[in-house]
Amino acid sequence: MQNLFAGFFISLLIHMGLVLSLSNILNIDLLDFQAEYSAPIPAYLVFEQPASISKKEYRRIVINEVTPESKAQVDINEMVLKPSQEILILKSKTARPTIVKEKKINLNEKNRILIFSSIIEEQIRAVWKKPIVPEGLSVELVLSLVPTGEILDVKIKRPSGNEAFDRSALIAVARVNKFENLSMSAKLFDDNFRNFTLIFKP
Amino acid sequence: MKFLNKIILSLLIFSSSYFYSQLRIEITGGTDEPIKVAMVPFEWTLEQAPPLYLHEIVKKDLESFAEFSVLSPEDMLSYPTLEEEVSYRDWRLLKVDYLIVGSVLKSETEGEVNISYSILDVSRQKNVHKAIMMGSLKSLNRIGHNISDRIYEKINGIPGIFSTRIAYVDKPAANKESYDLRITDINGEGDLSLFLSSQPILSPDWSPDGKQIAYVSFEEGTSRIYTQELSTGNRRALKHEKGINSSPSWSPDGKSLAAVLSKGGNPDLYLYDLKNNNWRQLTDHYGIDTEPDWSPNGKSLIFTSNRSGSPQIYELNVSSMRVKRKTFEGTYNARARYLPDGKKIIYVHRKKGVFHIALHNLKTGKISILTDTFLDESPSVSPNGNVIIYATKDKIADTDVLAGVTINGKTKFILPSASGGAREPAWSPILDKY
């Protein structure tokens, strides 16, 4: 009897391992970061890197035009944010140093995620009318997009406890309806933007 | 076997956390545009003409603190009175966020009306709130303020204050000889007198249920604390002690009053048990302790004391009797009041010789000055914590006026009051809780 169980668990282990490796497990650190927004002044991106990467790798990135027509695989080094240029001071989480060591960080991909995130952030921010709710609330929504930027579905992942505040976030998403300027590679979209979490804080 | 189980369990947890690790984008701060509300004039099915229009009352209420912009009926494209009749496209074109439609219907009872209305979310085409109310035709005004309160609460997430009242003391002036304790609706309507006296009246304070007011009166020649029932006008005098009897503050459970007595030689805080009619001493210090205010949870009191040399705000924990100094900035901080969340206080703060109302976050210690008028005193907080009313001087007319400011400091207003000597405002709790 025991042997049967052992066999079952070993096969379960193997299958689990297969599933995990197939689902591109090494990308974990790329998905897990926070972007902070500051005043829109023309400037460049600054990256705070994990300790394992030397300061020389900080890059100054001049960004040229992004238009809806531009090809999916835009090189980030040649992009300019439209309509306004802005500073993004971005912090990468240093929570998983072991994984960072195993794989060299693909800065370009990370940059793209950050830029498209800030494009999304800007569009939501422009239409979000936050009510006068008590301090310290936050609501998390999960959005599902199609590659054109249209919002297919929005769900409350973690409610704030204040109905009016949750509704204001849902209204902001409904008012955006479709995100503009999100032209990116199919892989980048599938990995990051097909489903993502939006956190609203007053 | 157990070991294997553990491995599988940890693998499962690890893998699930992996699958949940999604891109997270944080949005802080939105647009400064006010929320746009449209209230279609309600359908009116009574024979007689409407004595007033509900949409006008609601518009005036919602716009009073500049938090909403309300569309005028002239600018509307259609006039639906039922949710089913709404063409959302019209309202999206007008950039309306919330639409209110409804009707006033005849009731079977004489002089009564049935009011039904819906609050609709235009962007998502959803019904946010649906209500049916009954009331007399005479109280249509109050029904209007009540509807404003509900709309405010549904959209802003904090209670509306359009049905609340403010008590204040009218000082003698050229055209009148006596002190007058009055209450008024916050929109300046329904101003009425509660108590007239040739001797000073001070420090009105509402009971937590909004049915009584406590105040200090000098009618017997010395100060004494009274409570008065609003509906009957019945007054009750608290047990008088030698010396000063002042600054009553009703406890949140309504069973006792904190106040100041000087029977021990200098002013200290005392607690009056309304059932057993006796005083219990709370603080004992050779300095002056005065102006107590209860925290919303009833666990502590803030008060003004000069025990350190200058007036500062202190907090007394009622169970441990421990006193802690709260203000360190400036040489004059007095008359503190808690905000309803208990995490912030407001008080009179002197800066460069001028008295302002300051907001103080007890957790972070951050202080912000809310007012720019110059002789500001006795602030009182609205029951939703969003507006502060205080007494100040109108420089031009040289009269005493009641002024208000929202807690973000953005919107300021003067309360329309008939007379020119209004002092010591006290904001009521939420009165008609639906």
Between CA A133 and CA A139, with CA A135 as vertex, the angle to 5 degrees is: 75
Q: Is the pLDDT of residue B432 over 80?
A: no
Look at B26 and A120 and tell me if their CB atoms are within 8 Å.
no
A33 contacts: CB under 8 Å, gap ≥ 6: A90, A91, A92, A93, A110, A113, A114
B278 forms bridges with which residues in the sheet?
Answer: B273
Q: For B95, which residue in chain A has the nearest alpha carbon?
A: A175
What is the CATH classification number for the domain harbouring A172? Answer: 3.30.1150.10
**pLDDT, mean of residues B71-100:** 94
Q: Token digits for A87?
A: 């500073």
pLDDT of residue B7: 64
Q: Is the model more confident about A35 or about B154?
A: B154
Over range B99-116, report the average pLDDT: 90
The Cα–Cα gap between B402 and B422 comes to 6
Is the model more confident about B189 or about B249? B249
3-state helix, strand, coil in chain A (%, to 5): 40, 20, 40
Q: How is residue A159 written in tokens?
A: 């409610």
The whole-angstrom separation of Cα B51 and Cα B225 is 42
- Please state which of the ranges A182-196, B175-189, B211-225, B263-277 shows the lowest mean pLDDT: B175-189
Give residue for tokens 């005028």. Answer: B72
CB contact under 8 A, B24 and A126: no
What does the mean pLDDT of chain B come to? 89
**CATH class assigned to B165-427:** mainly beta
The answer to whether residue A189 sits within a structural domain is yes
Q: Where in chain B is the domain with CATH 3.40.50.10070?
A: 35-156
From chain B residues 206-245, the ones with a CB under 8 A of any chain A CB are none
Are the Cβ atoms of B25 and A199 closer than 8 angstroms?
A: yes
Q: Which chain B residue has the Cα nearest residue A21? A: B15
How far is residue A114's CA from residue B69's CA, in Å, rounded to a whole number? 35
pLDDT at position B5, please? 67
A158 lies within 8 A of chain B by CB: no
- Does the distance separating the beta carbons of B157 and A133 come in below 8 Å? yes
The reply to whether residue A170 touches residue B155, judged by beta carbons under 8 angstroms, is no
Which of A116, A130, A145, A184 is the best residue to mutate to test the B interface, defined by the most B CB atoms within 10 Å of its own CB? A130
* Nearby residues of B428 by Cβ (< 8 Å), 6 or more positions away: B164, B165, B166, B167, B183, B206, B210, B383
Q: What is the pLDDT of residue A82?
A: 40
pLDDT beyond 70 at B413: yes
For B27, what's the count of Cα atoms within 13 Å in the CB-facing half-sphere?
27
pLDDT of residue B271: 95
Flag whether pLDDT at A140 surpasses 60.
Answer: yes
Map residue A135 onto helix, strand or coil: coil
Beta B412-414 vs B399-406: how paired, if at all?
Answer: antiparallel
Token pair listed for B134: 């009954």
Q: Are A191 and B18 in contact (CB under 8 A)?
A: no
Closest Cα in chain A, distance from residue B67 (Å): 9
Question: Residues of chain A with pLDDT > 90: what percent?
Answer: 29
| CB-CB contact of B302 with B326 (8 Å) | yes
Buried b (16+ CB within 10 A) or exposed e, B382-401: bbbbbbbbbbbbeeeeeebb
- Separation in Å, CA of A168 to nearest CA in chain B: 8
Shortest Cα distance from B93 to chain A (angstroms)? 12
- pLDDT for the residue numbered B139: 87
With bands split at pLDDT 50, 70 and 90, how would you rate the model's confidence at B354? Answer: confident
List chain A residues with CB under 8 Å of B21.
28, 31-32
A125 found inside a domain: yes
A54 lies in a domain? yes
Within 8 A by CB and 6+ apart from B132, the residues are: B114, B115, B116
Smallest Cβ distance to A201: which of B8, B26, B121? Answer: B26
Report the share of chain B in percent with pLDDT over 90.
Answer: 65
Which uninterrupted H or E stretch holds B14?
helix B2-20
Where exactly does CATH 2.120.10.30 map onto chain B?
165-427
What's CA B29's distance to the chain center, in Å? Answer: 25
**Comparing A57-61, A91-95, B226-230, B338-342, which segment has the lowest mean pLDDT?**
A91-95
Contact criterion met (CB < 8 Å) for B123 and A9 = no
> Over the stretch B222-253, which tens digit does the pLDDT of each residue have?
999 999 999 999 999 999 999 999 999 999 99
Q: List the 56-95 stretch of A: residues with Cβ below 8 A of B.
A: none
Q: What is the predicted pLDDT for the residue at B291? A: 94
| pLDDT value for A66 | 40
A184 has a pLDDT exceeding 90: no
pLDDT digits (tens, 9 = 90+) for A70-88: 344 444 444 444 433 333 4
- Token pair 């007058």 is found at B180
The Cα-based distances of B116 to B82, B106, B127 in angstroms read 9, 11, 13
Task: Please indicate whether, in this complex, the C-beta atoms of B33 and A129 are within 8 angstroms of each other.
Answer: yes
Across the interface, do B4 and A6 touch by the CB < 8 Å criterion? yes
Which of B26, B123, B153 has its CB closest to that of A175? Answer: B123
- Number of domains making up chain A: 1
To the nearest 10 degrees (0 to 180), the angle between helices B140-156 and A163-176 is: 70
Residue of A nearest to B6 (CA): A9
Q: CB distance B153–A164 less than 8 Å?
A: yes
Cβ-nearest to A199 among B24, B31, B154 = B24
Residue closest to B155 by CA, chosen among B145, B147, B167: B147
- In this prediction, residue B208 has a pLDDT band, given cuts at 50, 70 and 90, of very high
B9: pLDDT confidence band, cut at 50, 70 and 90?
A: low
Residue A138 in domain: yes
Which tokens in the block code for residue A120? Answer: 């999304």
Q: Which of B23, B339, B368, B407 to mutate to test the interface with A (most CBs of A within 10 A)?
A: B23
Q: How confident is the model at residue B217 (pLDDT cuts 50, 70, 90)?
A: very high
Reported CATH class of domain B35-156? alpha beta
How many CB pairs below 8 A link A and B? Answer: 124
Q: Which structural domain range is residue A129 located in?
A: 26-200
CB proximity under 8 Å: B 340-369 to A: 341
Q: Which helix (H) or strand (E) holds A152?
A: strand A151-158
3-state secondary structure of B222: coil
Model ipTM? 0.80
- Residue B29 has what pLDDT? 80
Range from B12-16, B27-31, B294-298, B352-356 that averages highest in pLDDT: B294-298
